[in-house]
Structure 1
């Protein structure tokens, strides 16, 4: 059985989403972050970076959330996996873009809003994120023009990875309504039963 380390409320959430999409059995391995168990000697053998998420699938260990989602889709021959090298490249393209470009300012904003006391909060970081994120959303809006999903006409690992970041952006208060393609696409992604299961996990 696959073992997963990391809370569904963290970046591990997209890994839970993939596991639910594939209907794979898995075991949640609790880590007490306040007690810094993610920096323990035992966990560092799993992820030498001392971060979450990570999975152990038999004798295979994978860390970094988007590497995990890609691995799971491909290993278990899911319809979410690429079928050609071109599809693979385009799925990686959108996934890397979401991680490197869109997620960075969103996480900076999240840290200031959720983890920094108000009297020490850097409001400039938040304002900068609010300015730059709409520019990135324009890229995604264009990428979805005339399309149901990002790659081919089916839901794939690219949609899962990118939607997980867009959901974070939306939860921070960024209105998606002006972006008609993104708004339509996100509703389709969030209507999926696997995402609904993830949403319930995050509420627990």
Structure 2
């Protein structure tokens, strides 16, 4: 049976949504990144990058949320657009846009907005402004695209919408409470995907386990190891 290494973060939620939508049988394997589970040898065997999510599909290891979505979609034949060169090009282009743009810039925007050391003072302004700007830029591109398209790839609900939903549903945490007022087309698609029965099931998977909630000094040392390296 497929093993799904996960926690409640945005990237694992993309894969959780696919699994819940598709009905594929799977086994949950929790990875608590605030206690260091991601550095255990048994997990690094599946994902040498030490990040969630990852899957073990009967000995076939796949990591990176977007790679997993594409792998599972192609394996099952589900949540892909009609097989035309145009659709394939759009699917790959928007999936990579999310993989290399929306996700990373949102993640860095969250870090500098919520978790970077406050004692940096004015030195924090530049990276904070940089990543807020880039996250907004990506949201604007998505919003403009969705003004003329029901889903990310035409009129078909696909893995690209799942990848989009993983981060975009957390827009207020990334960019502030007014984000969905600014980007109403993004909100429309977030709301539609969130209303699908599989979405709340995907989000609730984390509640089956106890993950560390506190971002204390121990968790910071584990998750932001560059701080420890700098101090040494």
With the shorter chain as reference, the TM-score category is 0.7 to 0.9
Partner residue in 1 for 2:165: 163
Report how far residue 14 of structure 1 moved. Answer: 0.7
Partner residue in 2 for 1:4: 4
Partner residue in 2 for 1:116: 116
Report how far residue 69 of structure 1 moved. Answer: 0.9
Q: Which runs of 4+ in 1 moved over 6 A?
A: none
Partner residue in 2 for 1:25: 25
Do the aligned residues in 1 keep the contact of 2:56 with 2:62 (CA within 8 Å)?
Answer: yes
Report how far residue 202 of structure 1 moved. Answer: 4.9
- Please identify, of 152-161 and 165-174, the stretch whose mean Cα deviation from structure 2 is larger: 165-174
Report how far residue 73 of structure 1 moved. Answer: 1.6
Report how far residue 67 of structure 1 moved. Answer: 0.6
Higher Cα radius of gyration: 2
Matches within 5 A, 1:38-57: 38-57=38-57
CA distance in structure 1 between the partners assigned to 2:203 and 2:35 by the alignment: 26
**Any unmatched runs of 5+ in structure 1?**
none
Counterpart of 2:8 in 1: which secondary structure?
Answer: coil
CA distance in structure 2 between the partners assigned to 1:37 and 1:100 by the alignment: 25
CA distance in structure 1 between the partners assigned to 2:22 and 2:16 by the alignment: 10
Matches within 5 A, 1:170-185: 170-172=172-174, 173=176, 175-185=179-189
Deviations, residues 40-67 of structure 1 (Å, cap 9, x unaligned): 3222221122222110112321111101
Counterpart of 1:111 in 2: which secondary structure?
Answer: helix
CA distance in structure 1 between the partners assigned to 2:134 and 2:51 by the alignment: 27
- Please identify, of 66-75 and 190-199, the stretch whose mean Cα deviation from structure 2 is larger: 190-199
Partner residue in 2 for 1:71: 71
Partner residue in 2 for 1:90: 90
Matches within 5 A, 1:132-147: 132-147=134-149
Aligned length, in residue pairs? 203
**Any unmatched runs of 5+ in structure 2?**
209-232
Deviations, residues 91-143 of structure 1 (Å, cap 9, x unaligned): 11111111222222211121234433433472432233333322222211221
Partner residue in 2 for 1:194: 198
Report how far residue 35 of structure 1 moved. Answer: 4.5
Counterpart of 2:110 in 1: which secondary structure?
Answer: helix
Report how far residue 39 of structure 1 moved. Answer: 2.1
The alpha-carbon distance between structure 1 residues 129 and 34, as it changes in their structure 2 partners (threshold 3 A), is: closer
